[in-house]
């Protein structure tokens, strides 16, 4: 019976190929003027039209905002004694309080400017006006490399007065209100773009960036002639797919399980980011919890008794999924996690919990891989090649910390 319930998470080759093909079709719709508005995958131009040359030198500031924590970084780029290219970084993480995430745009960006001021003080560089690269990991319609309109918040952010406005302008206004430092915001990019660019320094064949963390998204280098939202025919432009919304028009309906529907219905954005909700770290732990509760209700786990903690939404964190799958085989780690949730499991219970975690995370990986295959296949077709040898730069907490 446990096997029967978990088998729903398994996707066969034909199903994954269907996901790939639907992703590819929706990407194409997002690139075309006549279908862009109705497409679930928005394919947003980034105005990044080239990859790094490797000759860039100097001191730069970077601001990375994409979740409940954000990072300020001082980046020194130059050559060492052997004339090899090198990068030195100093960074500081800051947590964003709930009231800043869900208050007003002014509150949020004033807090960010306050943290930037703290960072500059710590490193004694407040007197310098350095170029700033702003990584902003939310859906944005770019009008230039340093101008982007926030389309909608994701990942728990709801700050009012930001959607429909230029994000770089909001940051510049907050810096100006403080008046204790100056900053030259030269570019705003998505985290997928930043990942692709940083990977390119290591591997010149990198033309795709992907994030698998709190959220899930990808970008890639597209032929300019097919990016109908931007004028120009020559060369390539990096496109931010915003593929997390794939499925919002029903493309994934037959692949969504009862647990996926509960996760969606109880989220802050029901009906939106449905592909992301099948994959990303923000939802993986809750999916596992819902399956565990179902198994308890079917009298297949914990002697049919669930603790109040286990019944509580959000109690089974995604980090627990990684920890369960990292258990060495003595079940001690699994036992400790379940004990912290008010459950005293048997060895068989521990084994079943591990199977549940593996089933949910494997589906996540397969769904993500199918989408990525769609991106690469589209690139291959655009370039009229039988095969395409490229590198994908990947980052994100799930990718880095989960034992795939």
Closest CA to 112 of 89, 131, 136: 136
What pLDDT does 336 receive? 97
Average pLDDT of the segment spanning 384-398? 92
Q: Does residue 81 carry a pLDDT above 70?
A: no
CB 321 within 8 A of CB 293: no
Q: Which two tokens stand for residue 214?
A: 């709190």
pLDDT tens for residues 141-187?
A: 888 889 999 998 887 788 999 999 999 999 999 999 999 999 888 88
Using a pLDDT cut of 70, give the percent of the chain over it.
97
**Beta-bridge partners for 144:** 147
Q: Does residue 51 carry a pLDDT above 60?
A: yes
pLDDT tens for residues 245-257?
A: 999 999 999 999 9
At residue 89 the predicted structure's pLDDT band, cuts being 50, 70 and 90, is confident
Q: Does residue 55 carry a pLDDT above 80?
A: no
Average pLDDT of the segment spanning 47-57? 74
Catalytic residue list: 155, 191
What pLDDT does 85 receive? 60
Q: Report which secondary-structure segment, H or E, holds 337.
A: helix 332-340
What pLDDT does 198 receive? 85
Q: Does residue 84 carry a pLDDT above 90?
A: no
**Rounded to an integer, what distance in angstroms lies between the CA atom of residue 196 and that of residue 302?**
45
Classified by CATH at the fold level, domain 1-45+208-401 comes out as Hexokinase; domain 1 (3.40.367)
Burial of 365 (0-12, 13-18, 19+ CB in 10 A): middle
At residue 228 the predicted structure's pLDDT band, cuts being 50, 70 and 90, is very high
What pLDDT does 386 receive? 86
At residue 240 the predicted structure's pLDDT band, cuts being 50, 70 and 90, is very high
For the chain, the domains span: 1-45+208-401, 58-189
Q: Does residue 284 carry a pLDDT above 90?
A: yes
**Rounded to an integer, what distance in angstroms lies between the CA atom of residue 290 and that of residue 154?**
22
Q: Which two tokens stand for residue 274?
A: 């449905």
**Rounded to an integer, what distance in angstroms lies between the CA atom of residue 109 and that of residue 113?**
6
Q: Which residues, in sequence order, are CB contacts of 386 under 8 Å at separation 6+?
A: 380
pLDDT tens for residues 93-145?
A: 999 999 999 999 999 999 999 999 999 999 999 988 999 999 998 888 888 88
pLDDT tens for residues 285-343?
A: 999 999 999 999 999 999 999 999 999 999 999 999 999 999 988 999 999 999 999 99
Provide CATH code, domain 58-189: 3.30.420.40
380/55: higher pLDDT: 380
Q: What is the pTM of this model?
A: 0.86
**Rounded to an integer, what distance in angstroms lies between the CA atom of residue 367 and that of residue 360?**
11
At residue 205 the predicted structure's pLDDT band, cuts being 50, 70 and 90, is very high
**Mean model confidence pLDDT for the chain:** 92
At residue 82 the predicted structure's pLDDT band, cuts being 50, 70 and 90, is low
Q: Which two tokens stand for residue 234?
A: 């020559």
266/89: higher pLDDT: 266
């Amino acid at each position: 019976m446990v096997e029967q319930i978990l088998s729903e998470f398994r996707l066969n080759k034909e199903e994954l190929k269907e996901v790939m093909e639907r992703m590819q079709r929706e990407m194409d719709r997002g690139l075309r003027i006549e279908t862009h508005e109705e497409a679930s995958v928005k394919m947003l131009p980034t105005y990044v039209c080239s990859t790094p040359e490797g000759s860039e030198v100097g001191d730069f500031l970077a601001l990375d905002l994409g979740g409940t924590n954000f990072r300020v970084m001082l980046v020194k780029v130059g050559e060492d004694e052997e004339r090899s290219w090198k990068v030195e970084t100093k960074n500081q993480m800051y947590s964003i309080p709930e009231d800043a995430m869900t208050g007003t745009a002014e509150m949020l960006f004033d807090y960010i400017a306050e943290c930037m001021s703290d960072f500059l003080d710590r490193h004694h560089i407040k007197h310098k006006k350095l170029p700033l690269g702003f990584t902003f990991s939310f859906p944005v319609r770019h009008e230039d490399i340093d101008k982007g309109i926030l389309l909608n918040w994701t990942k728990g952010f709801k700050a009012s007065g930001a959607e429909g406005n230029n994000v770089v302008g909001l940051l510049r206004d907050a810096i100006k209100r403080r008046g204790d430092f100056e900053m030259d915001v030269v570019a705003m990019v998505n985290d997928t773009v930043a990942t692709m660019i940083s990977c390119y320094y290591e591997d010149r064949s990198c033309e795709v960036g992907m994030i698998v963390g709190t959220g899930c998204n990808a970008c890639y280098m597209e032929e300019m002639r097919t990016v109908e939202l931007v004028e120009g025919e020559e060369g390539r432009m990096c496109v931010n797919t915003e593929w997390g919304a794939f499925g919002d028009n029903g493309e994934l309906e037959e692949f969504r399980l009862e647990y996926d529907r509960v996760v969606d219905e109880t989220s802050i954005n029901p009906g939106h980011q449905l592909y992301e909700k099948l994959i990303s770290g923000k939802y993986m732990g809750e999916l596992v919890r819902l399956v565990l509760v179902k198994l308890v209700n079917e009298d297949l786990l914990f002697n049919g008794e669930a603790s109040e903690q286990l019944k509580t939404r959000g109690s089974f964190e995604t980090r627990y999924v990684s920890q369960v799958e990292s258990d060495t085989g003595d079940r001690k780690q699994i036992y400790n996690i379940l004990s912290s949730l008010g459950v005293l499991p048997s060895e068989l219970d521990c084994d079943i919990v591990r199977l549940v975690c593996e089933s949910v995370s494997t589906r996540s990986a397969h769904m993500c891989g199918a989408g990525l295959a769609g991106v690469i296949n589209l690139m291959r077709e655009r370039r009229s090649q039988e095969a395409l040898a490229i590198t994908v730069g990947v980052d994100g907490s799930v990718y880095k910390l989960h034992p795939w």
